[in-house]
Amino acid sequence: MTTQFAPRQGTKFAKGRQGDWFVDVRNGGRLPCLMDCFWMGGQTYHQNHFYNPDNDKRAKYVEAIRKGRVVMAKYTKEAGKAYKRVGYIERILTVTDVVHDPVLGLSCRIVGSEAA
């Protein structure tokens, strides 16, 4: 294990709240947060049924993702219950090819990452 990826003692990589689509990242500002349950592995992220151009919260979120820097949140889901955020992948991800449309929902390509 290399020390460059180890969390710093006494600091959190990111701080967010359940239901907030952004997180405050140590040394990275405020970034949009993607859900790991929609990460298809490799470079593909696809969250179907995520389309509503008239929703101001969604429009701001998608615009922030288009800036190219995001955080991936880890979630669990029990049958009959909502998704629950349980942590973060401790990297700032670089994304491109962001699509937000009625057929594809929200999708993008993950093309890189950096330590926070």
Tell me if 41 is assigned to some domain.
yes
Domain that includes residue 34, residue range:
17-114
Tell me if 10 is assigned to some domain.
no
Tell me if 11 is assigned to some domain.
no
pLDDT exceeds cutoff 60 at 5: no
pLDDT classification of 11: cutoffs 50, 70, 90: low
Tell me if 79 is assigned to some domain.
yes
CA–CA dist 86, 54 (Å, integer): 30
Tell me if 33 is assigned to some domain.
yes
Tell me if 55 is assigned to some domain.
yes
pLDDT of 1 reads: 37
Work out how many domains the chain is built from and give that number.
1
Please choose, from the candidates 101, 89, 85, the residue with its C-alpha nearest in 3D space to the C-alpha of residue 5: 89
E-only strand ranges, 6-104: 14-15, 22-25, 29-35, 44-47, 69-76, 84-101
Please tell me the pTM assigned to this model.
0.83
pLDDT of 6 reads: 42
DSSP state of 65: H
Residue 116 in contact with residue 26, Cβ under 8 Å? yes
Residue 109 in contact with residue 21, Cβ under 8 Å? no
Tell me if 8 is assigned to some domain.
no
